[in-house]
Amino acid sequence: MQTIAYSRVEDLEIKFDLEPPPSPTSGTLSAIIYMHGGGLESGARRDLLFPEWLRESSLRRGFIFIAADHRLLYASTAFDISEDMKALFAFLADPAFSEKHLPAGLSLDASPSPSWVPPGAAMPPALRPSTPSPSPVQSSCSSGWARTTIPVCNH
């Protein structure tokens, strides 16, 4: 696993953990991007609620697994968090990302990536990054850990 800074705001480096699947040696792979919960006010990419099952399942199925941090509310604003998401997706979409951070022969499919959004992490549509855009495949409702599956549709 690599920890990579995808953005810097003054003295703060905003990072994500990257883990490619163990078996593929070449090709273009999709990613599962985990955004931590905490109602935008707390949490981190590897906090106590980290879904190890999601990481293991993603890697077993041949996805690149990414767990990303973002700035938190009250020290920052929702617009700052939106800028973090835009910076993350722009960083991942840059071909230099695959060349620098993935094993030789592998590249990231920068089309919409499946995401997992935990409780309290949902953003209003006006604040969500638009390009490139994640395609949520699973979300947890804010009233608990009950999971709701969201179909991926790119048309």
**Omega of the bond prior to 103 within 30 degrees of 0, cis?**
no
Mean pLDDT in residue range 116-126: 48
Nearest to 31, CA basis, from 90, 100, 104, 116: 116
pLDDT of residue 77: 85
pLDDT of residue 8: 94
Domain range summary for the chain, segments of one domain joined by +:
2-113
Q: How many CA atoms lie within 13 A of 74 on its CB side?
A: 5
What whole-number percentage of the chain has pLDDT above 90? 30
CATH code matching the domain that covers 2-113, chosen among 3.30.530.20, 3.90.79.10, 3.20.20.70, 3.40.50.1820: 3.40.50.1820
* pTM of this prediction exceeds 0.75: no
Over residues 45-92, the pLDDT tens digits come to: 788 778 889 889 999 999 999 999 888 878 888 888 889 989 999 999
Are 72 and 42 a contacting pair, CB within 8 Å? yes
pLDDT of residue 114: 52
Over residues 7-17, the pLDDT tens digits come to: 999 999 999 99
**Residue 34 banded pLDDT, cuts 50, 70, 90:** confident
